[in-house]
């Protein structure tokens, strides 16, 4: 592409900051008696945790990202697409008792219409929130009190082109990493006009707490192909991994649905340089006239297929897991593909569930300290009409065989209110101690509310 398609590395900042078993399990949530913290628990393990309603305000909230303070796992923040936040739409719910109660709620004010909220904790008890902005820029805020009060927006930069899309945030929170506390934000930039422009994956990085940034492209501009759904993960050694999907768009129409590649690039020097993109797997998208495919039985409603990544270990023996859905021709099926050599090569994708009934979609993946991975997803197996969904979770020690599919709630949610607007992305997941947590939305109150649950192991 010509000079007009080059990202302008012009960055500026705003200096002023203000803080202005279900049936089989015995499920309990300890009361806050005597000032002791509440702890979500159940017995005997493994068992499904009690469900906590995170958002209980007037309007609905859709989970975007769940994070825990690496220095205090009782402190967690859930970032949401929040109807209680007016024009911002970016809300935060905080807990200091491991998720039993969510007492804090805050909103952040946008410069313009925001999109793509993501959050991450560093090793200094500071949680960051990154987002895109309608002015075709990326912004960053931080909170030093577990998401209750937030700084003003720091403007990271604008492309001057079609703008960055759906930014994703990751922070190196490994104490042994040479790049600990480095911040990474990935985004897809649109080069030459909305809808028909070239796309390219970029990653910005900062090694000084967000004061200064550098942007690095990971590949060439793509046209008519489209890069989308990039995700980040950082290994114990500080190596940063990025995955994304690339679809082919003949005559700039909807993506070709079969043989869609998923790519990976990684950086071992704090984001300065990146390996050439390598193939992780190929997948097929759900049919329909939506750009990336439509979710079955909900009209013309888009469904994303984000290749979510998590990394266990370091160096040449790091295990890299990537989860996504694959359209079998009759069913959306959740699959995981694994690398045992730090992302150099990947094996054959394996299914997480052996259920051939009902669609499975928007999966997420997270890793426990012992290397166990948990996959959570939304599943329609219990609705004969293949419409309403429920959250499920399953674990694996090696990414090759997954165990029991745990049903996290008996309630079934109807997604038809999303008609035309798109099904929300992967429900955030998080390991904390011996429990794997998941968040999701349900409509049991007539509006979409954020729920938290999971499995105790």
Q: Indicate the pLDDT class of residue 18, thresholds 50, 70 and 90.
A: very low
What mean pLDDT, rounded, does the chain reach?
Answer: 87
Predicted pLDDT at 346: 98
159, pLDDT greater than 80: no
Q: What is the pLDDT of residues 38-64, one digit of tens each?
A: 468 999 999 999 999 999 888 889 999
For the stretch 162-186, pLDDT in tens is: 556 678 999 999 999 999 999 999 9
pLDDT tens-digit map of 348-363 = 999 999 999 999 999 9
| pLDDT tens for each residue of 81-112 | 998 988 678 899 999 999 999 988 999 876 55
pLDDT at 27 over 60: no
Structure confidence by residue, pLDDT tens digits, 405-423: 999 999 999 999 988 888 9
17 — pLDDT class (breaks 50, 70, 90): very low
User: What is the structure's pLDDT at 6?
Assistant: 30
pTM of the model: 0.90
pLDDT at 32: 30
Q: What is the pLDDT of residues 359-383, one digit of tens each?
A: 999 999 999 989 999 999 999 999 9
Q: Give the mean pLDDT of 247-272.
A: 95
User: Can you give the three-state secondary structure of the chain, one letter per residue?
Assistant: CCHHHCCCCCCCCCCCCCCCCCCCCEEEECCCHHHCCCCEEEECCCEECCCEECCCCCCCEEEEEEEEECCEEEEEEEEEEECCCCCCCEEEEEECCCCCCCCEEEECCCCCCEEEEEEEECCCCCEEEEEEECCCEEEEEEECCCCCCCCCCEEEEECCCCEEEEEEEEECCCCCCCCCCCEEEEEEEECCCCCCCCEEEEEEEECCCCCCCEEEECCCCECCCEEEEEEEEECCCCCEEEEEEEECCHHHCCCCCCCEEEEEEEECCCCCCCCCCEEEEEECCCCCCCCCCECCCCCCCEECCCCEEEEECCHHHCEEEEEEEEECCCCEEEEEEEECCCCCCCCCCEECCCCCCCCEEEEEEEECCCCCEEEEEEECCCCCCCCCEEEEEEEECCCCCCCCCEECCCCCECCHHHCCCCECCCCCEEEECCEEEEEEEECCCCCCEEEEEEEEC
């Amino acid at each position: 592409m010509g000079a007009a398609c080059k990202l302008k590395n012009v960055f500026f900042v705003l200096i002023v900051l203000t803080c202005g078993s279900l049936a089989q399990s015995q499920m309990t949530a300890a009361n806050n008696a005597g000032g002791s913290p509440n702890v979500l628990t159940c017995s005997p393990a493994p068992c499904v945790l009690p469900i906590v309603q995170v958002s209980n305000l007037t309007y609905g909230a859709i989970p975007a990202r769940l994070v825990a303070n690496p220095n205090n796992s009782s402190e967690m923040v859930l970032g949401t697409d929040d109807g209680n936040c007016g024009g911002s739409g970016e809300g935060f719910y905080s807990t200091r008792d491991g998720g039993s109660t969510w007492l804090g709620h805050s909103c952040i004010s946008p410069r313009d219409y925001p999109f793509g909220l993501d959050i991450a904790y560093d090793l200094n008890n500071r949680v960051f929130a990154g987002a895109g902005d309608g002015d075709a820029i990326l912004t960053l805020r931080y909170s030093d009190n577990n998401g209750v009060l937030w700084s003003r927006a720091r403007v990271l930069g604008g492309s001057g082109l079609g703008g960055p899309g759906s930014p994703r945030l990751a922070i190196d929170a490994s104490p042994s990493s040479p790049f600990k506390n480095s911040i990474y934000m990935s985004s897809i930039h649109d080069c030459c006009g909305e809808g028909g422009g070239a796309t390219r994956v970029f990653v910005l990085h900062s090694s000084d707490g967000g004061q200064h940034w550098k942007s690095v492209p990971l590949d060439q501009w793509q046209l008519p192909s489209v890069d989308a759904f990039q995700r980040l993960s950082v290994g114990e050694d500080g190596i940063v991994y990025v995955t994304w999907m690339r679809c082919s768009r003949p005559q700039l129409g909807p993506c070709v649905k079969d043989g869609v590649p998923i790519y990976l690039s990684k950086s071992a020097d704090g984001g300065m340089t990146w390996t050439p993109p390598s193939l992780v797997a190929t997948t097929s998208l759900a049919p329909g006239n939506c750009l990336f495919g439509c979710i079955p039985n909900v009209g013309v409603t888009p469904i994303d297929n984000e290749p979510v990544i998590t990394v266990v270990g370091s160096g040449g023996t790091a295990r890299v897991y990537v989860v996504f859905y694959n359209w079998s021709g009759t069913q959306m099926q959740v699959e995981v593909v694994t690398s045992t050599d730090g992302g150099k090569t990947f094996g054959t994708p394996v299914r997480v569930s052996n259920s051939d009934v009902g669609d499975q979609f928007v999966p997420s993946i997270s890793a426990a300290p012992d290397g166990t991975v948990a996959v959570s997803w939304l599943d329609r197996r219990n609705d004969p009409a293949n419409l309403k969904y429920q959250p499920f979770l399953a674990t694996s020690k090696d990414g090759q065989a997954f165990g029991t599919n745990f049903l996290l709630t008996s309630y079934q949610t109807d997604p038809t209110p999303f008609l035309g607007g798109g099904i929300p992305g992967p429900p955030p997941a998080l390991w904390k101690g011996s429990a794997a947590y998941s968040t999701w939305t349900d409509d049991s109150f007539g509006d979409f509310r954020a729920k938290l649950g999971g499995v105790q192991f």
